[in-house]
Amino acid sequence: MDQLKHYISVACISFTFSILFYLLFSWLDIFPPMGEALIAQMLVISICIIILIFVTHQLPIQNTLILRLIEFLYVVIVLLIAGGFFNLFPFTWSTTSFVIATGVLTYLVVIIVTFMGNQSSAMQINAVIARKKREASTDQNN
């Protein structure tokens, strides 16, 4: 169940930041304004990417660098395929570069936020362990 929560959280984070980055590039007149259909399509894209990442995590790949590279390739490939399928953007060098930049930025934010969450959880676990050790030590001394 915790793993399901993790993937749902990652999907929500990636969707949120991809929308924010798209909005930023829209304000800079790089992308057109956002509409409801585009938001729904971006949700589908985020879900497709997270499903592919979930499937990859089921494989017996132990090397974190290889896993990250595969995840990054999924982001780029899904963005390009979805861009063509949904006719989201013209396939010019500049537009495609910004689409890939959006994907890369979103991917990096997800990795950073996930890392920070893992660090926070580890600190909480370590604090509980330290407290229990202190309690056990106090009980032994009495």
| pLDDT score of 112 | 92
The token pair that represents 2 in the structure block: 């915790």
Buried b (16+ CB within 10 A) or exposed e, 38-56: beebbeebbebbbebbeee
Residue whose structure tokens are 């001394």:
141
Please provide the average confidence, as pLDDT, over all residues in the chain. Answer: 89
Q: Which of 80, 78, 82, 105 lies closest to 93, judged by CA? A: 80
Q: pLDDT tier at 95 (50, 70, 90 boundaries)?
A: confident
Residue 17 in this model has a pLDDT that exceeds 80:
yes
Amino acid 42 reads M
Determine if the pTM surpasses 0.85: no
Burial of 22 (0-12, 13-18, 19+ CB in 10 A): buried
